[in-house]
Structure 1
């Protein structure tokens, strides 16, 4: 097998194992009586601190992953398993020894105000790329009468060139002040005996890394050409 193909396959395998990013967090896995939790022939979880990766919405690569320095468990989550702020993965669908019920809720944090710079456009003089119509030794700029007259001439070709001129949409930046809300998700993952009305045999209790959501733009400065 060519080396490049092998590298691509290894990268794909790593991608499938870890998911496509996902929401990350930390927590603690509590098992019944502190006993090991055997999910299948290859994976056994033990009580202790674990890292979490999951997808809050269904998608092609949606997965649940629990891992630490001793074990790395990952399983796909199908679209049908999702409902509201959680999912229920049946053992008969996953091939695991237990059903998995995951749920999460948002915990809001502080309100903050932040100054940032954002891209914008404004009218003015700047250097931009335009398409010139080159006909023998003469060239014409789009929007001019000569350009339209010679556009279909056989001896004319369009070439990109950079010019400094007045444009209605020069690229620039401006300062903005925004109000933001810090938040994180509190996550619980229950491992349940299939078709049994009894408490979970194991519970992962954790939280995601703090995140921030923009609520509104408080002020915008003038767009300054770069």
Structure 2
């Protein structure tokens, strides 16, 4: 394959890979304030300089293939990958020698619990009853047979028979339905701190990001379940 053609063929996958690396695959979102030493600008590398002020945050609390740390606002957008081995407990330490940045980055977070709530929801379920479902009919000339019947088994291997999906209304053991459930939930958010440290020193951080994630909710238990009603 000519070199130019090969480059064109690779350009699509490479662009997709670059987009994934820059944007990650989601992450936990939050916001906070970056404090810098003496209010001075914080130069991380030749391309990125952070300044004191409000910033948005995206990070991954668990190590993974696309784990990243991102700090950004309307003036600057900083993002760096975080290797799995950098994680320990509720935090990670990204060393300058590994990242190529001017500073070590130490991130930590802890959970702050909020209110207990009870919520009524509807969830999918299955139950026995009459409903309309798709089944595989065995069609043999002008006759058709449903799975589970004696005729179906007799004609299953006939050369002139084919299986066709059809919708029928009948009694089934697993009709789709919904039911009402009441759950107890806990509101929570993560308090996040990101320190920028001089490599190989014991000095205080030259900059600190102090923030919190967006409020979230975790289901603790199901308090009650209603009867499954066929849709």
| TM-score bracket relative to the smaller structure | over 0.9
1:41-70 Cα deviation digits (max 9, x unpaired) = 000000000000000001111000000000
1:65-116 Cα deviation digits (max 9, x unpaired) = 0000000000000000011100000111111000100000000000000000
Distance 1:6 1:139 in 2: 54
Matched, 1:73 2:81: no
Q: CA deviation at 1:155?
A: 1.0
The TM-score with structure 1 as length reference comes to 0.95
1:181-216 Cα deviation digits (max 9, x unpaired) = 000000000001111111111000000000000000
Distance 1:14 1:55 in 2: 17
Distance 1:211 1:138 in 2: 57
3-state SS of paired residue (1:146):
helix
Question: Quick one: structure 1 residues 5 and 181, their matched pair in 2 at CA, closer, same or farther if it must change by over 3 Å?
Answer: farther
Identify unmatched segments of 5+ residues in structure 2: 8-13
Identify unmatched segments of 5+ residues in structure 1: none
Question: Quick one: structure 1 residues 3 and 170, their matched pair in 2 at CA, closer, same or farther if it must change by over 3 Å?
Answer: farther
Q: CA deviation at 1:19?
A: 1.3
Q: How many residues align?
A: 225
Question: Quick one: structure 1 residues 153 and 214, their matched pair in 2 at CA, closer, same or farther if it must change by over 3 Å?
Answer: same
Q: CA deviation at 1:20?
A: 1.0
Q: CA deviation at 1:13?
A: 3.3
Q: CA deviation at 1:12?
A: 4.6
Distance 2:201 2:180 in 1: 58
